[in-house]
Amino acid sequence: MGSPRLIKNLKSILTHVFIYLLAFLTFAPFLWMILTSVKDMSEIYVYPPKWFPSEFKFENYKNAFDAAPFGTYYINSLIAAVSVTIGQLITCSMAAFAFARLKFKGNNILFLLFLGTMMVPYNVTMIPSFMMLYWLGWIDTYSALIVPGLASAFGTFLLRQFFLTIPKELEEAAYIDGATKFGVLRRIIIPLSKPALATLAVFTFMGVFNDFIWSLIVLNSEEMRTVQLGLAVFRDRYLTQWDLLMAGSVTAVLPILLVFFFAQKYFIQGITLSGLKE
Amino acid sequence: MKKNISMRKGDGLSALLFLSPTLLVFGAFILFPVIFSFYLSFHQWNMFSTDTKFVGVDNYIRLFQNEEFWDVLKNTAIYTFGTIPLNMIFSLMVAYILNKKIIGKKLLRTLFFAPVIISPVAAAVVWRWLYDPNFGIFNYFIGLFGINPINWLNEPTAAMAALIIMGVWKTFGYNMVLFSAGLSGIPDNYYEAAQIDGAGWWAKFWHITLPMLAPTTFFIMIMSIISSFQVFDIVYVLTSGGPLGSTKVLVFYVYEYAFKFFEMGYASAMSYFLFLILFILTLLQVKYMKSKVYGA
């Protein structure tokens, strides 16, 4: 006669074991990547696989950085990601302010059109966008990485929804005191919208830093390559040099993983607030 | 009061000013491209030559008569409909368990979500190593169960399976978050009432959880189809479309024709065809979006 309580506890323990096992399996590729990145080649090509290296070989990172200019790739990725993020915070809050607060003809229709642009698949816009940049002479420049990203329907939508929740009384007082619309946006709305702005910043930064196809199309020269493009080229060149490839991969995921660990709630918020992908 | 009225008058001009940066970028990189690629799809054009030749619907006819295109479409469909059921079962299961009394929820959620946020390129490089036929972890694990090693990335069926497994791993955390939000929106008293009626675990799941989650499930399904149809990065790095074109998917094909063969017109016709497929799917989902934007 097992008491119901005992059964309940047993069920709870089994559930815990199961979910932690699943979480471990999900995270295992990360561990495997990190462990391989500090192994000597002689310990990589062994069967059965050996989990822990007998000594940590951090030179792999140095060797990877010697084999390809990851430092340059990093700077390129950071320049693109930071510029687009700052740019989007500005353009999206301005557009969101217009949609949330200004009365003008066609506000709703224009906003619906904005939402509609989210449904256009990127491979439809990819070819003419490339040609636009080609005509502008921007192929293989930072402008090609940055300018097309300086507006976002997702960001505008996210901020508009947030701005709508801010009570209007504060603004009205400011207008009476002679504030301009831009002043109201900057001094009242923006400071009150930090969580929404942080969500947008985190998403945009991640999107640009992780982007691959766009850099693949618009960049040619080695010194312009982003981390992701650089890593893809690196993979073609060092097909089975798993020590270097894993060191390169760790390098390419580290900043995002760090941002994620410290700002996880903004990622979660971004998804649940909007329920939209990318 | 007077000031307030005068402010309202000038809203049209201010709105234009506030919207202008966004309108400019969208005009150049969304509106123009949508129109121009439609125009291009009826023309033959190598982007480096100056003459554009009007060819009517020839690009579309060529597309439908091209056997490889149908294979590519089939591959895309296999990837999409192979990934989504697994993805949804996993994400719902994990969200369901995390909705219960579990120790260390925050850590668990972080671990499940980590694959979503990392770069697809780096993830695919790592997975190539996991799938290594001689020293890969995958073959080691299936070996423990007495299964012979599989040449994951060099055999057509296995390569597609490898792509699907990785695709599920990379994306199920995203849907987990959406399901979690959906689950936490189900009022507790529904479950309590069912408990009093003596309903078991399965009955509660089947008669309360699933029906209450239906809108979320529908939304996730449509969004997943749309994004799976456009898979590119992991294909490019994991299999490069091979072996024997078995994992060549639509966007990869468009990319090849546009940026390797520079057949811009033909590639545009392809992408418009994909647009049409996605548009139909999107229409199904717009209703849901509308209620979400204006209902809140």
As a whole-number percent, the residues of chain B with pLDDT over 70 amount to: 93
Do B224 and B116 share a structural domain? yes
Do B140 and B16 share a structural domain? no
Domain boundaries, chain A: 4-61, 69-274
The number of domains in chain B is 2
- Residue B6: predicted pLDDT: 42
Strand runs (DSSP E) across B3-64, as ranges?
Answer: 43-44, 53-54
Range of the domain at B18: 2-40
**Does the pLDDT value for residue B293 go beyond 80?**
no
Contacts of B192 (CB under 8 A, 6+ apart): none
- Residue B10: predicted pLDDT: 59
A191 touches B: beta carbon within 8 Å:
no
Assigned domain for B69 exists: yes
Closest CA in chain A for residue B46: A131
- Using DSSP's 3-state secondary structure scheme, residue B221 falls into helix
Do B24 and B72 share a structural domain? no
Give how far B81 is from chain A: nearest CA, Å: 18
Do B120 and B16 share a structural domain? no
Do B194 and B88 share a structural domain? yes
**Does the pLDDT value for residue B286 go beyond 90?**
no
Q: Which chain A residues are Cβ-neighbours of B282 within 8 angstroms?
A: 119
**CATH superfamily for domain A69-274:** MetI-like (1.10.3720.10)
| CA–CA gap between residue B35 and residue A172 (Å, rounded) | 42
Do B80 and B170 share a structural domain? yes
Write out the two tokens for A105: 């003809």
Assigned domain for B46 exists: no
Contacts of B157 (CB under 8 A, 6+ apart): B246
Phi, psi (degrees; rounded to nearest 5) at B34 = -60, -45
Instruction: Tell me the CA distances in angstroms from B150 to A158, B140, B153, one per residue in order.
Output: 45, 10, 9
CB contact under 8 A, A120 and B264: no
Assigned domain for B53 exists: no
Assigned domain for B224 exists: yes
| Closest partner CB to B11 (pick from A30, A94, A103) | A103
| CA–CA gap between residue A155 and residue A198 (Å, rounded) | 11
* pLDDT tens digits for range B156-181: 999 999 999 999 999 999 999 999 98
Contacts of A196 (CB under 8 A, 6+ apart): A158, A159, A161, A162
**The residue type at B5:** I
Which CATH number characterizes residue B94's domain?
Answer: 1.10.3720.10
pLDDT class for A51, splitting at 50, 70, 90? confident
Closest CA in chain B for residue A93: B18
Q: Which range among A1-15, A223-237, B66-80, B270-284 shows the weakest confidence by mean pLDDT?
A: A1-15
- Residue A6: predicted pLDDT: 83
Q: Which chain B residues are Cβ-neighbours of A217 within 8 angstroms?
A: 255, 259
Q: What is the ipTM of this complex?
A: 0.90
Contacts of B63 (CB under 8 A, 6+ apart): B69, B266, B269, B270, B273
Assigned domain for B54 exists: no
**Does the pLDDT value for residue B278 go beyond 90?**
no
Tell which of A42, A110, A123, A274 to mutate to test the B interface (max B CBs under 10 Å): A123
Do B69 and B35 share a structural domain? no
**The residue type at A261:** F
